[in-house]
Structure 1
Amino acid sequence: MNILIIAPSWVGDMMMSHSLYQALKTQYPDCQIDVLAPNWSKPLLDRMPEVRKSLTMPIGHGAFNLRERYRIGKSLRNQYDMAIVLPNSLKSAFIPFFAKIAVRRGWKGESRYFFLNDLRANKNDYPMMVQRYVALAYEKGAIPAADKLPIPTPYLTVQQSAVEKNKEKFSTQFELAENRPAIGFCPGAEFGPAKRWPHYHYAKLAEMLIEKGYSIRLFGSAKDTDAGEQIRSSLPETLRRYCINLAGQTQLNEAVDLIRDCTAMVTNDSGLMHISAAVNRPLVAVYGPTSPQYTPPLSDKAVIIRLIEGGLIKIRKGSDSAEGYHQSLIDITPAMVMEKLETLLAKE
């Protein structure tokens, strides 16, 4: 059986989709899985052994472009027995329909009745996103209840030779930091400052860790470069050499390897949090307005700190500080994170 996956557009969701691919291999042992996804995700999909190949989705997130969707669908005809559509939008169901794939499976959403013929309507029975993904591996009527649904842990393969090669690329910075064991920080968040732990808290934690003999690696996209510099500039000048801002300097593939090389990670709720979990790093994840009940890091080495109750609060910028930080994250002190981190490190 050949299966086409219409993949999500965000890093964290892409990582959680790996649980589905593993579950499909259990349900259909001889299946071949191809994933239609944005080009940026190829470095992740190439590290998932269950995926035969990644197909580049040339249409940007949010773009309708019906003509191009028809062209892509037509090019995929007579290749697949099943399609599984992970995004909830109507437009995401067009390509499998145009490809005339016999079984087109997905959750009910945005009036997709005509385009999906294996439609699931009981989404609320599965409160976690990863549960919703994995449930799509099962035939209708044979899906275990949420509390009995096996959830394979997402993982990414890492070659030590690639890790060493990427370390060599940044050897000058690492040597300046005396090649100390590294704790990685992921201070960015795609959806705005309300999801970010304050830069001054990161800086204080960095100072505490540097004084214990660690170096700090700051990870993120080019958008997070300034956040990283805020952290570095908040450190005493004599300690800044031990805090290396890699945000915007690494490709995703390089970031995966350099995160795997870290002793532990401290992150906001972000895509890099899910990557940190997938490469099996001890991880402290700080949550504020977003809900760890819906998209937690999927790792037994992860500890979550959240001081408020309830589900998702839809806010991009908080009114509790000039920077837009949310009070629930301001209230998480560096000492709280340090305590959890030391507990994790003691188990290694």
Structure 2
Amino acid sequence: MSTSWGFYNPVQIHFGLGKVKKLPSFVGNDSSKLIVTTSGHVSRAGVGGLEEQLGLKDYFVFDKVVPNPDIESILRCVDEFSDEKISSVVSIGGGSVIDTGKTVALMLANKNAELRDLLVDASHVKSLPHFAIPTTSGTGAEVTPFATIWDQKNKKKHSLSGVSVYPAMAVLDPKLTQFLPEKETVITALDTISHALESLWNIGRTPITESFACKSLRSSLSALPEVLREPGCIKSRTKLMEASLLAGMAISQTKTAMAHSISYPLTSYFGVPHGLACSFSLSRIITLYATQNKSDHVVPLMIDVQSLLDSLGLQTMLGRYVNQRDLDELKCKMFNPSRAGNFTVKDFEIKDLVDFEL
């Protein structure tokens, strides 16, 4: 762990039950806002329900966000609202929604910019104010300077990054996750665990990111089993959302590492949900890391997390999307230098992390 480090995260955070009701006082109601969400969220809330839920007036709605947003879906949103006088963007949903909101906020503030140019470097542009409201506990996207965008045609994952990608504000209300179905609860919680672990076996690990990650993992260890036993328990849902936030804060500084490098082709080629794709290899990575870093004081915590992961049957879950032959064919695509290069362990082979009997 480096002894020379810095920390910067400009996102204003509001966390707690009922916080979403405070949104009008945060955002203001004096100009037009663009709400970015999914059709499912709108249908559940209803047109009046969305207004009641958020308390906003004078807004547009884009509800065509797709899972793993691609370049085409982003551009559809920008084209639809480029002639409107949008003052800010409010995204309410999971990671795909928030990543869409981040990208759209940038593009609407820079109408002459090309998305592909921003994917190369977004550090030199400004963004419309973006207010991120997560409805899952997993991605931590509300506090990171990254947005993942997929090129489905070429089966590639792109990352928009830069200080301007940070939302202006994150409003986290655990009540919004209380009735999240079990599958989505587990998949997004796995993303949280992956983020926390990835920031610990990371060349960018610092005392502050370690603190965030360890607190996140301890919360996940207790809260995920509790939520699976009692899905409506708001106390446990609150702990899961806090875990997600803290893990997001950690990777906002370190970025992710090996597990995410492995995950990207699984999502782009076979549609494996991100949380599953970046967590099925974690148990093997924990063993690898612990073997080579026995003196690291966080290893016992990692071993506890490993027990939880092993109890969830992740390989069985993965087998619903891919088989061993699929994994074998993708191994050559699983080394992403920008992520794998952050992993502190260098002496290993990817096949040792992904060979399973599926």
Normalised by the length of structure 1, the TM-score is 0.32
Higher helix share: 2
Higher strand share: 1
Structure (1 or 2) with the larger CA radius of gyration = 1
Normalised by the length of structure 2, the TM-score is 0.31
